């Protein structure tokens, strides 16, 4: 932020009142801000410094790692819930990803001490993507296992142990990448992203 004193045109040296402490001064000494509805708002140098200290302090003190940690737990818990909903109902509800988006977004927000910011939004969105991915991976592994158990003749090499699928395996990727699926996931990621959106002052 630049420390420029507004001294332009006819407003120079008008007597104004600090909108924070009520002290009187001139527009030459005070800082002028565009307030709501175009009206000017004035701050004396002391109040301006105080406001800036508070803002900088808040930004620095955002506990990013706690926000990440809580968001990660939410992503894993959400993915586990998603997995069980899917295998117990034998149906995959894409809308569960919307719930995952909210769950992760609010966990990040709470972890950050209710503070918001662009960095928290990105962390939240990436954790939603991670949650979607592990849910889909677990679901795919489960259905593959079920299929192999049902069709042993096709897998005579198989010893019955759990099979680890390469996450980049095309069968796995095709199992959940569809236009409608991607749209629902994108909405889930977006929900996780907007929860931590900075509020306008």
Q: Are 42 and 31 in contact (CB under 8 A)?
A: yes
Q: Are 68 and 108 in contact (CB under 8 A)?
A: yes
**Rule CB under 5 A: is residue 20 a binding residue for Zn ion?**
yes
The C-alpha atoms of residue 70 and residue 153 are separated, in whole angstroms, by 45
Q: Are 114 and 58 in contact (CB under 8 A)?
A: no
Q: Are 102 and 139 in contact (CB under 8 A)?
A: no
Q: Please identify, using beta-carbon distances, which residue of 20 and 26 lies nearer to Zn ion.
A: 20
Q: Please identify, using beta-carbon distances, which residue of 20 and 141 lies nearer to Zn ion.
A: 20
User: Interface with Zn ion by CB under 5 A: which range of 3-11, 21-29, 99-107, 162-170?
Assistant: 21-29
Within residues 43-72, the interface with Zn ion by CB under 5 A covers: 44, 47
State in angstroms the smallest separation of the CB of 100 from Zn ion. 46
Q: Please identify, using beta-carbon distances, which residue of 11 and 23 lies nearer to Zn ion.
A: 23
State in angstroms the smallest separation of the CB of 44 from Zn ion. 3
The C-alpha atoms of residue 3 and residue 65 are separated, in whole angstroms, by 32
The C-alpha atoms of residue 53 and residue 2 are separated, in whole angstroms, by 14
User: Interface with Zn ion by CB under 5 A: which range of 4-12, 22-30, 88-96, 164-172?
Assistant: 22-30
Residue ranges in contact with Zn ion by CB under 5 A: 18, 20-21, 23, 44, 47
């Amino acid at each position: 932020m630049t420390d420029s004193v507004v001294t332009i045109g006819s407003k120079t040296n008008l007597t104004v009142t600090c909108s924070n402490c009520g002290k009187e001064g001139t527009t030459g000494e005070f800082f002028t801000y565009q307030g709501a509805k175009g009206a000017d708002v004035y701050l004396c140098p002391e109040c301006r410094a105080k406001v800036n200290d508070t803002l900088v302090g808040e930004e620095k003190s955002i506990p990013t790692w706690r926000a990440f940690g809580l968001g990660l737990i939410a992503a894993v818990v959400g993915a586990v819930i998603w997995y069980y909903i899917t295998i117990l109902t034998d149906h995959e509800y894409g809308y569960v990803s919307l719930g995952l988006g909210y769950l992760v977004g609010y966990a990040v927000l709470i972890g950050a001490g209710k503070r918001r910011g662009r960095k928290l939004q990105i962390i939240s969105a990436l954790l939603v993507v991670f949650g979607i991915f592990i849910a889909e991976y677990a679901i795919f592994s489960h259905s593959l296992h079920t299929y192999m158990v049902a069709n042993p003749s096709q897998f005579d090499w198989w010893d019955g142990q759990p099979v680890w699928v390469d996450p980049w395996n095309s069968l796995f990727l095709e199992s959940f990448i569809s236009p409608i699926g991607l749209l629902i996931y994108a909405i889930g990621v977006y929900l996780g992203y907007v929860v931590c959106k900075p509020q306008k002052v």
